[in-house]
C-alpha cells in the first residue's frame, strides 16, 4: 500500500505524546501521566517507537527505489524535553539504527523551557541534535495564565541562551498572539524578549480556539472573548515589522529566519510536498502520494506495533486533484511562492485577479503573496482553488 519515494528530501517526524499538564488551547494528541495511568509510559512508548521504525525500514526496503538518506528529523509533541537528555538521545539512536542519516542532517526537538537545563542542552547537542524549538508563547504572565502555560515568563529566554551556549547555532522561539486580554504592550514585551534572546528563528501563530479544548469552553461560556480578526491582523503586522527590522525575514507566513540556513528544513519539506515518515502515536506520514496516520492512544499504538505491521489507523492515496489542492495551499504560504506554470486554467485566471487585487505579485515565474496578501493567505488559496 506504500507509495514509492518522490525524489525529494526525506524526513522523519517522531511524536512524543507526553505532557506534564494540558494547556487550555491545545488540541494535539497529548496525554498527562494522570490521563494515561499505568497504560503507557515513556519506556513502553520508546520500545514501540523502535518497533515501528524497524518495521517501516523493512517495508521501505521493499519499494522499487532505495530509501533516501534522512535529511531532517523533528521530535515534536507533546513535550519531548520531558524525556530528558538521555531519552532524546535514545530516540535519535533508534532512528540511526534503522535509517541512514545524511551527513548534513538537521535534527530538531521541541522543548518546554521549564524541562530544560544547561546539562540537558549539552547532552542532546552531543547526541547529534542541531536545532532547538522552544515554546515561549508570551513574555506576559497574565497571557500565559490564560493559555494555561506552566513556565515562568523569563525562562524561555534563559533556555534559548543556554541552548546557544551549548553550541546550538539554530534556536527557535514560538509565539502565540491574539490571546484574550493581550495588549499591544504585552506583545511588544514578548518581541523585546525574543530579540534580546538572540535567536535566529521565530514562529508566530495567531491563537485559534479549537473545538473540544478548555479554552473553547471558556469562550463558549462567555468567560473570555473570542480572538478578534482585526486585532490579529494588526498584531501580525506589528510582529513582522519588528522582526524584519531586526534582520529576521519571513520565509513562510508564520515563520521568520535570520538566514537561509536558519530556516527549518524539516518544515520546508512539508510545505514543498516532500516525503516523510511520522512515527509515534497519532503521527501522520506521506510517501509518494500515499498518506497514513497512526493510532492515537499510546497503549493501543504499542499493542499494534507488538502485533507486527505499521500501527496505521487509516490510509489514503491522494488523487491528482487532492495533490494539486495541497500543492497550492502549501506553496502559496512560502516566500518563494507558487510556480505559475503549476496552476490549471481556472487557477491561472484566479491568479490574475489576486494580483489585480494587490494580494500577490509575479516574482519571475512565481506567484508570491504581498504583505497584505499574507494577512489573507487562506482567502487567496480559496480564490485559486474555487473557479
Query: What's the alpha-carbon Rg for the chain, to the nearest Å?
Result: 21
Give one DSSP letter per residue of 255-319, joined into a string: EEESSGGGS-HHHHHHHTT-EEEEESTT-EEEETTEEEEE-SSHHHHHHHHHTSS--EEEEEEPP
Note whether 136 and 192 are within 8 A (CB). no
The Cα 111–Cα 50 span in angstroms is 21
The Cα 132–Cα 166 span in angstroms is 11
> Exposed, middle or buried by CB within 10 Å (0-12, 13-18, 19+), for 32?
exposed
DSSP 333: T
How far the first Cα of the chain sits from its last, in Å, is 33
Distances (CA, A) of 254 to 163, 175, 333, 344: 23, 10, 9, 27
Write out the chain's pLDDT in tens, 387 residues: 677 888 889 999 999 999 888 787 777 788 888 888 888 899 999 999 999 999 999 999 999 999 999 999 999 999 999 999 999 999 999 999 999 999 999 999 999 999 999 999 999 999 999 999 999 999 999 999 988 887 687 899 999 999 999 999 999 999 999 999 999 999 999 999 999 999 999 999 999 888 888 888 988 898 888 888 999 999 999 999 999 999 999 999 999 999 999 999 999 999 999 999 999 999 999 999 999 999 999 999 999 999 988 999 999 999 999 999 999 999 999 999 999 999 999 999 999 999 999 999 999 999 999 999 999 999 999 999 986
In the chain the domains, ranked by start, together with CATH numbers, are: 10-272 (3.20.20.70), 320-385 (no CATH)
Give which of 85, 183, 191 is closest to 136, Cα–Cα. 191
SS3 383: helix
pTM attached to this predicted model: 0.95
Note whether 295 and 302 are within 8 A (CB). no
Give which of 141, 173, 140 is closest to 158, Cα–Cα. 173
Amino acid at each position: 500500500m506504500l507509495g514509492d519515494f518522490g525524489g525529494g528530501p526525506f524526513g522523519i517526524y517522531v511524536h512524543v505524546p507526553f505532557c506534564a499538564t494540558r494547556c487550555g488551547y491545545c488540541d494535539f494528541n497529548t496525554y498527562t501521566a494522570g490521563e494515561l495511568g499505568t497504560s503507557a509510559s515513556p519506556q513502553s512508548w520508546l520500545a514501540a517507537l523502535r518497533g515501528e521504525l524497524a518495521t517501516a525500514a523493512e517495508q521501505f526496503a521493499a519499494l522499487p527505489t532505495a530509501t533516501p538518506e534522512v535529511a531532517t528529523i523533528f521530535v515534536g509533541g507533546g513535550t519531548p524535553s520531558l524525556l530528558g537528555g538521555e531519552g532524546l538521545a535514545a530516540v535519535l539512536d533508534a532512528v540511526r539504527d534503522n535509517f541512514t542519516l545524511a551527513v548534513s542532517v538537521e535534527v530538531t526537538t521541541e522543548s518546554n523551557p521549564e524541562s530544560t537545563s544547561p546539562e540537558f542542552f549539552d547532552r542532546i547537542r552531543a547526541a547529534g541534535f542541531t536545532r532547538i524549538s522552544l515554546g515561549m508563547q508570551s513574555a506576559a504572565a497574565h497571557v500565559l495564565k490564560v493559555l494555561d502555560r506552566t513556565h515562568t515568563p523569563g525562562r524561555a529566554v534563559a533556555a534559548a541562551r543556554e541552548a546557544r551556549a551549548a553550541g546550538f547555532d539554530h534556536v527557535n522561539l514560538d509565539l502565540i498572539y491574539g490571546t484574550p486580554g493581550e495588549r499591544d504592550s504585552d506583545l511588544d514585551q514578548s518581541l523585546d524578549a525574543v530579540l534580546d534572546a538572540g535567536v535566529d528563528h521565530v514562529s508566530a501563530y495567531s491563537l485559534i480556539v479549537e473545538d473540544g479544548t478548555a479554552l473553547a469552553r471558556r469562550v463558549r461560556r462567555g468567560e473570555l472573548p473570542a480572538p478578534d480578526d482585526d486585532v490579529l491582523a494588526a498584531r501580525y503586522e506589528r510582529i513582522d515589522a519588528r522582526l524584519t527590522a531586526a534582520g529576521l525575514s519571513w520565509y513562510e507566513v508564520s515563520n521568520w529566519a535570520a538566514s537561509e540556513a536558519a530556516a527549518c528544513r524539516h518544515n520546508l519539506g512539508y510545505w514543498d510536498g516532500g516525503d516523510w515518515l511520522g512515527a509515534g502515536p497519532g503521527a501522520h506520514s506521506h510517501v509518494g502520494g500515499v498518506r497514513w496516520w497512526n493510532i492515537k492512544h499510546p497503549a493501543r499504538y504499542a499493542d499494534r506495533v507488538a502485533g507486527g505491521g505499521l500501527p496505521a489507523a487509516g490510509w489514503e492515496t491522494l488523487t491528482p486533484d487532492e495533490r494539486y489542492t495541497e500543492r497550492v495551499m502549501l506553496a502559496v504560504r512560502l516566500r518563494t511562492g507558487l510556480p505559475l506554470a503549476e496552476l490549471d486554467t481556472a487557477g491561472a485566471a484566479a491568479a490574475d485577479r489576486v494580483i489585480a487585487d494587490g494580494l500577490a505579485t509575479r516574482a519571475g515565474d512565481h506567484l508570491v503573496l504581498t504583505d497584505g496578501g499574507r494577512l489573507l493567505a487562506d482567502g487567496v488559496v480559496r480564490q485559486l482553488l474555487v473557479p
